[in-house]
Structure 1
């Protein structure tokens, strides 16, 4: 009797162990299936490039106001110079960006834009019109050939946000939309993709500075400028640059054909006392070379820094290590 009872207990105990193991296995399988499902959802979310987020709510880009209000849209101000193929590629791309209100092409060439070029660009704009509304395309014609032209005040500009861009770089519309949302959170500062830095050059004195390119930013993890070849800023800085930038600095920029982007960084930092914001994004260079590829580029930029410090009477640039990253497009952030 006792022997049979012991056997029954052992049998019940084994059955219980088998049940627990089976239940645990089922739980593990359910958990693994859930992980796989979430992974597939994440991949699908990334491929949609700006549609719903992983958990099903509408993404920031899709839910933000797409009206024509100053806060809901932005204007592109594009600098160009005798690179018509690049200009066509750039306009063809940016015309499709959803919250773009207008494109202003800064034209400083001796000859006016040709009729075939105008027809092509206007046709591209027409093809990208949505809901009966199309982006406004404007050529801002300048008599003088100067890099200062890219920061001239634009009268009757309807948007607060200006996206300053060169004609030889392209960013995905989704990346621009993200940078725009970052700028909306800090509309008084510059928000851009190309960081640069400065440092005190103690070998030349405590009031002398050096200019650091991308590798300096990469090495130190800090920056104090974002270049206007790809940056958002408030339209009020165009007026401030036009009316308040010292004439000596403008003349220096025109004469040396360099450093207008550093001057704008000085202007904004001097007005805000705050650093810019670097946004991580994909950059596609469609041009061959630029002034940064020429010998002595860093030395000339260093000269600009010290020239501008002397004119401003101080160093207004503020260093930071902040970087804005769109977490929807990365696995680990």
Structure 2
């Protein structure tokens, strides 16, 4: 009889205490105490996607609208009705209002303003601006918060270019409303301004106009991402815990229903959902009979351990629809299970969250263990891969969160340049794509495989020349003769960096009539010029060479064949590495022969034309300035850039056996293979300051990027049968092994 009483009590708690209910179409083997019967586990015909589709859609269940005591007004808007496109006809520029004397901003908003001022779209001229961002802190509209700004409506209305309705203005908000109703309506008139909002509901979100952003904390990194070795492991597929959550429980009010029900599916084994009611000023006065027992369970589990060792992490709504827990689970690569009806997920306009998150109706809480147990293994792996990509690309820093927000607006304002769904949801992501480069996705190096075709077999040679031509046996002429033997060559661009005039065209060595030769003698002779050639190159492949590079046709042909299989990488010959100096707490640069490398120098390497475009137009100006001032480190900067975009290392290919690194190169390295005595470039390498400059460059670039993007590799690609004891006639690139 005692067990009957307990059973009836449990039913009363579920049916009266919370609005939870089971699906009307229950599974054949319903979960018991958070566990599934053996029969359910053995179901081979389970169709996860179709079963999940049978659940009530979270999109159809909007958050009930709550009234706010504060006066507010949000104008119903679309881009067509509330945005002035004429302001953007001369380009996409962002003006940030100067900060008024004595006007304070929160730590988080200061980071946002800094990112905007360092953006490639920033302008000091409001007449050129397409978007306007106030320096008034609009982030926190919770009246109980110390960061709450009073009289903000009046301050916003007095902005010089607000013009009564805020057209073409961009506002940021992470919190709206306060106790007890936590309304997500802002407490001031936003007019026609676009609002980038966190924790926003479908009832107040102006789809296609506002932007849903993640809730980030003030300690969120300003810049950066995951560096080499920081990638998360995809295996084991099933971790120690199946489903986990550790957080607050609200005894009454908004958000209490779902969290109060978590104990019903907690089993203390593989489903760990522990909460505490010990928070807030009056928790002791409001504590219920579960508080003490819940606290005992709560203290048994470590928060970080649960995140790292759980397959799925529950993200229930709190007082507001969004919470910090969402980004915490994404960063930990724990698949989020979102329980927040009506919540507009961050950047959902562009990001396909169905590939990375389980969105579950709050009313089917009791079904959660059954749902997550039946997610197929291959889908778990795919979701983890997607989570890692999304975190590193769009969420790992304030710079990326704000950059994503701005690029979404760019796509709206310039629909003809808008990046596709594939670009946003496939590595390396939309932020790595400059839509002005090409309207075709397959024109970019990382999406070429999607078109089921390799880049064209032709290439353009770009040679940087520093030394006057003394005779027809000069290193530059010897190099041109050798690369001219390659049938894939279509054009030679020579960057003439010497004070003397280039030789008469009639004296250039003979090459194929179909090969175009162009000498560039611009006034601005800086080393970065070697990459400022994208507009003059009509092939995907660029062979970047220093005048003193010793290279033969077989090496070129083989390296080109490798590059065509890996067009997103730098493929070349001389390699270098970066190392961490623990004693000095800084990065070091080394040219020692090792079984590992992270850079392939661009004095003899193939790279995609798009990277030359990125270097010239999007590499931070501080890096380009350092490179040009020191006439050094351009190759290191290019490796930083490519690895930052791709998250992959370059590829070293085999070179002719007789080649070796000379003493001069060993001291500091540089472009090319073996610098010849006549080369002015060699004199630069032998400078005592050359190597120390490269050490400084590594650390300066690391500081600008905010993390170390270089990725180490131990791979070297050789031709088939290379050095195998077979007849040379059977080898395609036989000159790689001959002594001639």
Question: Please, what TM-score do these two structures have when normalized by structure 1?
Answer: 0.71
Partner residue in 2 for 1:240:
614
User: Is 1:71 paired with 2:456?
Assistant: yes
User: Residue 112 of structure 1: CA displacement?
Assistant: 3.9
Note the 1:50-129 alignment, pairs <5 A: 71-84=456-469, 85-115=474-504, 118-121=505-508, 124-125=510-511, 129=512
Q: 1:156 to 1:168 in 2, by over 3 A?
A: closer
User: Is 1:311 paired with 2:711?
Assistant: no
Distance 1:307 1:189 in 2: 23
Partner residue in 2 for 1:272:
646
1:330 to 691, 715, 723: 723
Distance 1:332 1:297 in 2: 42
Q: Given that residues 597 and 712 in structure 2 are in contact (C-alpha distance below 8 angstroms), is that contact kept between their aligned partners in structure 1? A: yes
User: Residue 327 of structure 1: CA displacement?
Assistant: 3.0
> After superposition, what is the alpha-carbon deviation per residue over 1:126-174, rounded to whole angstroms, capped at 9, x for unaligned?
xxx2xxx521111122211211111103315221010101111121101
Q: 1:331 to 1:293 in 2, by over 3 A?
A: farther
Distance 2:533 2:492 in 1: 14
Q: 1:299 to 1:164 in 2, by over 3 A?
A: same
Distance 2:632 2:549 in 1: 18
Distance 1:321 1:70 in 2: 26
SS at match of 2:652: strand
SS at match of 1:199: strand
Q: Say what the alpha-carbon RMSD is for the aligned residues.
A: 2.0
Distance 1:298 1:82 in 2: 21
Question: Structure 2: where are the runs of 5+ without partners?
Answer: 1-453, 660-672, 727-740
SS at match of 1:104: strand
User: Residue 291 of structure 1: CA displacement?
Assistant: 2.9
Partner residue in 1 for 2:537:
157
Q: 1:252 to 1:156 in 2, by over 3 A?
A: closer
Any runs of at least 4 consecutive aligned residues in structure 1 with deviations exceeding 3 A, and if so which?
109-112, 283-286
User: Residue 326 of structure 1: CA displacement?
Assistant: 1.5
Q: 1:154 to 1:140 in 2, by over 3 A?
A: farther
Distance 2:697 2:498 in 1: 25
Q: 1:174 to 1:143 in 2, by over 3 A?
A: same
User: Residue 298 of structure 1: CA displacement?
Assistant: 2.9
Q: Given that residues 468 and 500 in structure 2 are in contact (C-alpha distance below 8 angstroms), is that contact kept between their aligned partners in structure 1? A: no
Q: Given that residues 587 and 695 in structure 2 are in contact (C-alpha distance below 8 angstroms), is that contact kept between their aligned partners in structure 1? A: yes
Q: 1:290 to 1:134 in 2, by over 3 A?
A: farther
SS at match of 2:562: helix
Partner residue in 2 for 1:225:
599
Q: Given that residues 275 and 317 in structure 1 are in contact (C-alpha distance below 8 angstroms), is that contact kept between their aligned partners in structure 2? A: yes
> After superposition, what is the alpha-carbon deviation per residue over 1:18-50, rounded to whole angstroms, capped at 9, x for unaligned?
xxxxxxxxxxxxxxxxxxxxxxxxxxxxxxxxx
Partner residue in 2 for 1:24:
none
User: Is 1:137 paired with 2:517?
Assistant: yes
Note the 1:256-271 alignment, pairs <5 A: 256-271=630-645
> After superposition, what is the alpha-carbon deviation per residue over 1:42-89, rounded to whole angstroms, capped at 9, x for unaligned?
xxxxxxxxxxxxxxxxxxxxxxxxxxx961211111011124222222
2:564 to 164, 173, 184: 184
Question: Structure 1: where are the runs of 5+ without partners?
Answer: 1-68
Distance 1:112 1:70 in 2: 36
Partner residue in 2 for 1:173:
553
Q: 1:169 to 1:156 in 2, by over 3 A?
A: closer
Distance 1:185 1:82 in 2: 35
SS at match of 2:534: coil
Distance 1:327 1:162 in 2: 24
User: Residue 201 of structure 1: CA displacement?
Assistant: 1.2
User: Residue 120 of structure 1: CA displacement?
Assistant: 1.5
Distance 1:90 1:290 in 2: 19
Q: Whose RCO is larger (CA < 8 A, sep 6+)?
A: 1
Distance 2:648 2:724 in 1: 30
User: Is 1:212 paired with 2:590?
Assistant: yes
Radius of gyration: which is bigger?
A: 2
Q: 1:265 to 1:90 in 2, by over 3 A?
A: same
Distance 1:156 1:70 in 2: 18
Distance 2:608 2:701 in 1: 22
Distance 2:587 2:600 in 1: 17
Distance 1:80 1:244 in 2: 25
SS at match of 1:148: helix
Distance 2:529 2:636 in 1: 15
1:295 to 688, 699, 704: 688
Q: Given that residues 457 and 564 in structure 2 are in contact (C-alpha distance below 8 angstroms), is that contact kept between their aligned partners in structure 1? A: no
**295-304 or 268-277, which deviates more:** 295-304
Question: Please, what TM-score do these two structures have when normalized by structure 2?
Answer: 0.33
SS at match of 2:676: coil
User: Residue 111 of structure 1: CA displacement?
Assistant: 4.7
User: Is 1:193 paired with 2:557?
Assistant: no
Distance 1:332 1:310 in 2: 49
Distance 2:701 2:615 in 1: 14
Work out the number of aligned pairs and report it: 250
Q: Given that residues 108 and 149 in structure 1 are in contact (C-alpha distance below 8 angstroms), is that contact kept between their aligned partners in structure 2? A: no
Distance 2:723 2:654 in 1: 11
Q: Given that residues 70 and 158 in structure 1 are in contact (C-alpha distance below 8 angstroms), is that contact kept between their aligned partners in structure 2? A: no
User: Is 1:146 paired with 2:526?
Assistant: yes
